[in-house]
Amino acid sequence: MKRKKITIAALCILAGNIYAQSTPDIKTDLPQIIPPSPTVAALMKFEEIPVNNYTGTPDIGIPLFSVPTHSKDINLEVSLKYHQANVKADNIAGEAGLGWSMMSGGTVSRTVRGLPDEIFVHGNNGVIKAKIGLYHDNLTYDNNYYNSDLSILSQLAYSDPYKANKYYWETIEQGKFDTEYDLWQFNFMGNSGRFYLKKNQAGILEAVPLSDYRVKIINHYSTINNNPYTPTGFTIYDEKGYQYIFNVSETTSTTQAVDNRSLFNPSSSMSSNTEFISSFHLVEVKDPNDKSLIQYDFYDNDFMEVNRSSNFIDNEYPDGNYSKYSKYNCFNEIQPAQQIVNSLSRTKVKKIKNITVPDYSKVSFEYATARSDSDIILYDKVVRIKNISFKDFNDRAIKKVNFNYGYSNIIKNRLMLKEVVEDFGVNTQPLKYTFSYNENNQNLNGTIALDYWGNFNLITNNCNAQTVSTIRTPNPQTSTLDLLNKVKYPTGGSSVFIFESNTYSYIGDEPVTDFKENTLNEVHLDSDYKSFDNSAFQLLPIHTKDRRAVFRTDIMLPEDPNTWNRSIGLFKIINGQYSLVNSFFCVEPNNDCCKEVILEKMYSML
């Protein structure tokens, strides 16, 4: 028995040494989610959170141009749209500034969940890690069984437990096999939705809806670099038979740097994943007779956009004596005490150069680089829209729209759209739209950070008072920072937008009617103290917006006995007449009676 124990210990040491010499795996309990470029992600927010009263998302837009086509059903509409969900604390501004999206064509985007579904990398003895996507379930070796019927895996566990356990180990510990479908979304010309691509019984990839859309999606793929499922584009048909062709692609590559603060031997590692296609842009619209209605051309420039994220993972162990765990750590399966994962995604983006409406109009886009955002890294490759020129089909100028920007610096610099100026040429007055945003011009006592919703919040500088909940608690003073608050129109009029804190209910199918339990719904604006003697009246002003009155019997009269009582009445004035709302009594020997009354909104306190 003793000999057996010694042998196991020796094997563990040997295995640990072998593992340490190979290329380290990046393992984390967090799912790996790789979004598309910031500009495309901002556009897809209109699919995720539609503009309507139910979501509380207002329709904020600036129409720039509209022109008909050879079809009465299709027009080219060019406009700017604003979505407040794109103004979270860690959002990166897209090509039109933070919160704004240019609506002129359309995009089908992909968010990778785990590994790209089509990925196929054999691996090379630990030097190159094997990566097998969901679609590769018919290989001679390295089958991805995840998409198979569960009974097959169950049978495999009995008939060939070694193969089953090997599959589970390589999936969970080594990240070799993909286990979740990627999310595809589309947004073009008033159509939006989401789906995933799955192999049918004939082995053909087809779109499976994840939302209630009314279009038909045909996906295209081919064999590239020995991978038979590489996506090459989409053709989408609407209910009237119009074709929307998407085949200009953006590609994304990711890099992860991991710092493992291990229980035993701290380590750092870096990995670069294979480049994959993250979106396809609309290139042409055709009518049911295959006649071209709208055509899009794109720049060949090497434009880039980036996404960065950091995750911190703390693993707690029963006691601080970590050495006793070492004998169980044969293959580094014990998670580190702390893990820091920094991820960087670089997307080679495609920007519209020209839009052509045959026989009607031409639209040209010009971009500028040298942005000063704090989080874009590649300053000479990340662009902003500089201007858009609109001409008729004979190249006669109609107008030119210029975009002027500034920067917000709540925590870091982010591009903000300040003006849109429409120039119609000589001897005409330009038309100007001006935008204002909530700025940090308050004397805030604390540090601006991030709340549970992803908005800015304010945490105390008293470290002893900080907990996980207080650090992430929403704060109405800061949650709306950087949000649009005013649009001034060329006519001289304006629209003012007031965004409120989120309200929520744990009962999903019932409306929230009582907001008192969530103290975050109360915003204390001001307090007004009123004193009055025995048998006196005091009028309460209407500006007590929190609708709360607190009564304290702080006045002691010489004739008061040791045991005394006070009666308090609250009245509302209707047509000059007093009408009793509430009354209560205090019977206290120590003069510390306090009564709080919530004023109903119907009461007009004058």
Average pLDDT over residues 344-373: 96
Residue whose C-alpha is closest to residue 111's, from 61, 39, 164, 185 = 185
Q: Does the pLDDT value for residue 250 go beyond 60?
A: yes
Q: How many other CB atoms are there within 10 angstroms of residue 228's CB atom? A: 14
pLDDT at res. 525 = 47
pLDDT (tens digit per residue) in 291-302: 999 999 999 988
pLDDT (tens digit per residue) in 274-331: 789 999 999 999 999 999 999 999 999 889 999 888 777 777 766 655 666 665 666 5
Region of residue 496 (phi > 0: left; psi between -120 and 50: alpha; otherwise: beta) = beta
Distance CA 606, CA 583 (A): 18
pLDDT at res. 163 = 67
Token code pair at residue 297? 């051309």
pLDDT band at 98 (very low <50, low <70, confident <90, very high): very high
pLDDT at res. 427 = 84
Q: Does the pLDDT value for residue 555 go beyond 80?
A: no
Token code pair at residue 472? 């992430």
By mean pLDDT, which of 305-309, 407-411, 446-450 is the weakest? Answer: 446-450
Cα→Cα distances 595→515, 519, 545, Å: 21, 19, 18
Cα→Cα distances 491→390, 431, 487, 488, 590, Å: 22, 8, 11, 8, 65
Residue whose C-alpha is closest to residue 417's, from 429, 433, 431, 430 = 433
Average pLDDT over residues 49-64: 91
pLDDT at res. 20 = 36
What order do you get walking across the sheet with 60-68 strand by strand?
60-68, 75-82, 100-103
Token code pair at residue 87? 């103004």
Task: Note the helical H segments in 123-189.
Answer: 150-159, 161-172
pLDDT band at 24 (very low <50, low <70, confident <90, very high): very low
Element (H, E) at 13: helix 2-21
Q: What angle do CA 513, 519, 525 make, to 5 degrees?
A: 105
Beta strands in 479-576 (DSSP E): 484-488, 494-496, 548-552, 564-574
Kindly give, in sequence order, each residue whose CB lies less than 8 Å from that of residue 394, ignoring residues fewer than 6 positions away: none
The residue with greater pLDDT, 399 or 337, is 399
pLDDT band at 17 (very low <50, low <70, confident <90, very high): very low
Average pLDDT over residues 326-347: 74
Are 108 and 184 spatial neighbours (Cβ–Cβ below 8 Å)?
yes
* One-letter amino acid of 450: L
Element (H, E) at 8: helix 2-21
Beta strands in 114-242 (DSSP E): 120-121, 131-132, 183-188, 191-199, 205-209, 216-224, 227-237
Instruction: For residue 413, count CB atoms less than 10 angstroms from its CB and return exposed for 0-12, middle for 13-18, buried for 19 or more.
Output: middle
Enter the pTM of the model. 0.75
Give residue 120's Cα distance to chain centre.
29
Distance CA 161, CA 188 (A): 49
pLDDT band at 600 (very low <50, low <70, confident <90, very high): very low
Kindly give, in sequence order, each residue whose CB lies less than 8 Å from that of residue 14, ignoring residues fewer than 6 positions away: none
Distance CA 347, CA 353 (A): 18
Are 253 and 265 spatial neighbours (Cβ–Cβ below 8 Å)?
no
pLDDT at res. 425 = 87
- What is the C-alpha end-to-end distance of the chain, expressed in Å? 90
Residue whose C-alpha is closest to residue 552's, from 575, 521, 527 = 527
Token code pair at residue 269? 């590692």
Residue written as token pair 């040791």: 562
